[in-house]
Structure 1
């Protein structure tokens, strides 16, 4: 089987730091370009033409003309079908799929499609660039909608061109993506669309883009509502790119992080050992002079220690916080370079100040990982991290009813049986599946819950301890990467989403900007594309309660 058959389409499943020797925009330039093009980056999904109900997985797309021409990928749409379009500013509209070119029934190459907005414009749009101008190492960034986040705002990610045009006709980039990102735009540093997200490979960071020149070549043919199973005979002329000398010339290079500076910062980052697990922690010096180690609570037991210069130093538990998943320990050793609380600047963080901001995570051993501020989220609902009880429920006659139990699971051991109707959770009444799910999202593995159930004519109370949920994830490359996803990865407020490939065991590490100011603490590896950091204000609210 050829390599191209093994590349995974981003939607065919159910619901390095910046290169210092390559062209790269400075931080302010990127933020300005982002503000210009982000309004044209849209979230889409198929709808029933009569009821308007969603009938497909979500995908991404980009508007490229004021009259509403939209570019996306062939594996996301069907000609003549209707799609809901959501803009970042909250506006919504409807588009019809026009032409679709998918000449290979297995790979759907060249994976090209077009849609057209209905209704009157003008619509926000991004300018099309020319993929013929790209070169290896060229800076690029993407703005699209990862499905796992289920958010209405797109996330920014950065990368560089690995291959300007590989043997299968793709632009290959390091701009990381996952399902839901399909059809999202890849931009050059000027904010021109140079490709559209198509698929990923097993290697983390191997991402494949449809070149924008393919859309240019078949632009007229794509405006016909037709499924092309062979390349259209009608082609548009590809003109010489007048901007090529500008694009391929060196730009101002992002200032590299001083190695000595990173070394100083890394002295405050320690590895915490607890039974069967390791996680990172950051040493803070409080205003009273005491030093504490702060880390990710759900990954550290009460019996924990650090190893310093060959000696094991026990940590003493001070405080845990459920909302932030933070834990603080006292440590007998006095570190020479802690993060000093009295020197931290807690400033208001907004979308405009965070998105496009160059960031880096400091790790032990004078190591760091670069990333970019991708999205600021006020609340990330607890969709994946709540506790489970090894049973499946279904709403029957308006009541959440047990339909299946795992043999030997916590619910079965507590006495729950198929057919039981759950009426209350910890004395909170639940009417139907929506109430049940909403209430269960408040609880995490290790919590005790009491179900008041109806069983035939009897009412019983059963108490049991929740366990981690077994999420049935598809065998997609985005679900298989070193370190995996954090067990507790959502249920947070005021978080920064960024694209550093932080391993789950590297959480608890500090996140800085290029000025050396602490902006947050990495708290979870959320998905293939996303690491979550608690905003500095949330971190300081926790630290200020430590005495």
Structure 2
């Protein structure tokens, strides 16, 4: 991997400066996490019910883990039916057929077995009886909102070794799709399987792996047990003494504040309004060395942020009592990025022109990341996946009007409260004449045109009220589908624009939507990108550094070219 140099204005820092803070060694924790990933990643599988008649997978994916050479797969009872056929997909894309074996619903434990002949990656079972409170653990499973066939990694710790219901409670975040996914100790052994969650992000409940040891004989038979089956004695863990708790892991955000006290100077608050709504987001200070002449950078600073959360007249908050206007230079709707300029010279900044951008590869998985926040706060997370795309979400854009054809005219017959149409003061009875210049002749014409647009896009409507034509420029919003599962009601909330990205990094940082727009670093100071969205309970997204660098360079090149076009002979010096 190329050697990375990160130059800030009169600042050069090294790995050792940031890797260790006080008595806590971030480098060691990161090394331990990455060793778990190396040992366990390939055995963590994606599972879908399989239709033997049509010879294709059916809906309803979940997770599991292969734990021996004969192909036994541990998962959750609420996802597995004895005797049913399933397709097992390994992280390398290889697929095999498996059959559901035993399940114990009251404990949510279940087992499958791969039917095809062959050898498979596997990771051994550990002992849940060896767990200690505050012991680090790692989850490798398939959250449904990510929609990837490669697993996403998350870091946590044991909050309770055994709840009243007999589960393990951990802080490894989970959501639908993760069910049956494995949680590992720091030796890379399975200690629990994802089962259920509560509203708090710290309430993630795992099926103890000792249950699979205890009821192994019953679980290897294709049956569902209403009562607990006959048990066997579980032997003691021969490596129990080697497992250590780590109380500091509960305070990583606090411990890491000194780790990023200089990097925090690249994160600022931005405030603006859009359609009467107040917006707040973070901005990332960048130093465009090499992209513009030094004279053009005098008394100017540039920031990146999340475009859909920045209005037309943003204000940059320099301190509690000081702020300055920011100017929008360019927007990139595909990546939801915006480049801003302020007529104020700020110290430091990420020197994009001098960074050697390395691609993020599989060997980077599990690296510790930090998201600096204004006020010297920082959020610690781990890199969960290599760059992937996030498909457009199921919530299409909408205006919030119902139309009907009356007397040859497409007329608004109802308006949804608190919708874009309501904010724009449209009224029932208004005639819709055109949408972005295209005539609306039938009620279905509007829906057809709308299908090409996404939430936060701005459209132009031509209407007529009482025979008087008028125009409205309206920002579309997402149509929220019914999402009743508790996973969609976590307190941090999700970003409005959180899908339809061509390439993003995933990490398990607990970012609030207003905390996006800021930078994402490794503990070695490597600039990974800009946090762009809170996708779900388990995942935050960042636009990779390579895309950031390209966007800023293109934006400033266009700005320079435009300035040259405006440089007329009347402005030029009187050369002799």
| Structure 1 residues 350 and 385: CA distance shift in structure 2, 3 A | farther
> Which one of the candidate residues 179, 187, 193 is aligned to 1:182?
179
Q: Which runs of 5+ in 2 are unaligned?
A: 1-20, 404-411, 435-439, 462-471, 557-576
Structure 2 residue corresponding to 1:65, chosen from 58, 62, 68: 68
Alpha-carbon distance, 1:171 to partner:
0.8
User: Residue deviations 1:408-452, cap 9 Å, x none?
Assistant: 2669963799996669966xxxxxxxxx96xx3x644334389xx
Aligned equivalent of 2:490, options 477, 481, 487: 481
- Partner of residue 291 from structure 1, selected from 301, 309, 333: 301
Number of residue pairs the alignment of both structures matches: 489
Displacement, 1:62? 0.8
Comparing 363-372 with 243-252, which one deviates more in the overlay?
Answer: 243-252
For 1:245, the equivalent position in structure 2 comes to 241
Choose 1 or 2 for highest CA Rg. Answer: 2
Aligned equivalents of 1:210 and 1:525: distance in 2? 27
Q: Give the SS at the match of 2:218.
A: helix
Match of 1:352 in 2: 363
* Equivalences for residues 247-396 of structure 1 within 5 A: 247-248=243-244, 259-275=257-273, 276-287=278-289, 288=294, 289=297, 290-309=300-319, 310-353=321-364, 355-384=365-394, 387-390=397-400
Report matched runs for 1:70-469 at 5 Å.
Answer: 70-102=73-105, 109-233=106-230, 235-248=231-244, 259-275=257-273, 276-287=278-289, 288=294, 289=297, 290-309=300-319, 310-353=321-364, 355-384=365-394, 387-390=397-400, 407-408=414-415, 414=432, 440=452, 443-448=454-459, 467-469=476-478
Return 169-178 or 488-497, whichever deviates more.
488-497
User: What secondary structure does 1:519 align onto?
Assistant: strand
- Is there any run of 5+ residues in structure 1 with no aligned partner, and where? 1-17, 103-108, 394-404, 427-435, 451-462
Cα distance in 2 for partners of 1:160, 1:370 equals 14
Structure 1 pair 40–141 and aligned structure 2 pair: CA distance change class (3 A): same
Question: CA contact under 8 A between 2:254 and 2:378: conserved in structure 1?
Answer: no
Tell me the equivalent position of 1:543: 552
- Matched position secondary structure for 2:261: helix
**Equivalent residue number for residue 490 of structure 1:** 499
- Partners of 1:358 and 1:514 within 8 A in 2: yes
Aligned-partner SS, 1:35: helix
Alignment of 1:526-541 (within 5 A): 526-541=535-550
Q: Partners of 2:495 and 2:255 in 1: how far apart?
A: 28
- Distance in 1, Cα, partners of 2:118 & 2:443: 54
Q: Distance in 2 between matches of 1:420 and 1:299?
A: 32
**Within 5 A, what are the aligned runs for 1:514-525?**
514-525=523-534
Shift of the alpha carbon at 1:346? Answer: 1.4
**Superposed CA offset, 1:38-61 (max 9, x none):** 111111122233223544411111
Q: Give the TM-score taking structure 2 as reference length.
A: 0.78
- TM-score, structure 1 as length reference: 0.82
- 1:224-257 Cα offsets, whole Å, 9 max, x none, are 1111000102x22211111011113779999996
